[in-house]
Amino acid sequence: IDATATPPVVHRAAARVLGELHTAAAVNAVLARLESTADPARRANLVWAAARLWRRESAWKGDGWGTRPDTRGPYYAAEEWEASPRLRDAALASLARASDANRPGLARMLGLHRFPTDPVVKALLATPAGGAAIVAFLDAAGGSPPEAAVPAVAAAATASASPVPDRLAAIRVL
C-alpha cells in the first residue's frame, strides 16, 4: 500500500482490506497514510477505508432481527467504537482538503457509509463550491437536507451549467 509503483487496483484492494479490519493497527495504518498521501485516487481509497472503519457491526444480542431489517448497509446493526471519533475527524478533514473536482465523490462515499449529516454538511458549507458535494452526500445518505444546506442544494438544482444528472440529484434531495 505504500509503494509508489503499486498499480491503482492493488492499492484499492489493499485499502479495502484495511477497511474491513476493525483493529487499532488497521486504524493507525489508514490514518497515517491518509495524512501523508497526496495522490487523489489513493486518498479516496483511504477515505473509503476510514469511512468503513468508522462504525462496526455490533454484537448479536441473541434475539430476532424483526420483520423489517435495515438493509442500507454496510452493517445490519452498526455501532461506533473507540476509534470512531479519530476516523470521523480524519474523513471530514480529508473532505475539506479535497479539490473541488474530487470533493463530491468523497462526500458521496461518506453518505453511502451513513456518516452523520450535520458535521459533513457543516464541513462542506465551509468549502468553495460545496453545493455539488452536499448534493452528492445527501443523495447517497438519504433523508432531507438540513435547513442550512437548502440554499446550496437549491442553487445546484437550478445551475444551468451543471450536468443534468447532478441537477436531478439536487431535485431529489430537495
pLDDT tens-digit readout, 62-86: 877 666 666 677 777 789 999 999 9
The identity of residue 73, as a single letter, is G
Q: What percent of the chain has pLDDT over 90?
A: 78
Set of cell numbers at residue 154: 437549491
Q: Band of the pLDDT at 170, cuts 50, 70, 90?
A: very high
3-state helix, strand, coil in the chain (%, to 5): 60, 5, 35
| DSSP-H helix ranges across 37-78 | 40-54
Query: pLDDT category, 61, cuts 50, 70, 90?
Result: confident
Q: How far is CA 72 from CA 69, 78, 96, 157, 159, in A?
A: 9, 11, 26, 26, 30
Helix 84-97 vs helix 24-36: angle between axes, to the nearest 10 degrees?
Answer: 20
pLDDT score at 58: 87
Question: Which 3 state secondary structure label does DSSP give 56?
Answer: strand
The whole-model pTM stands at: 0.90
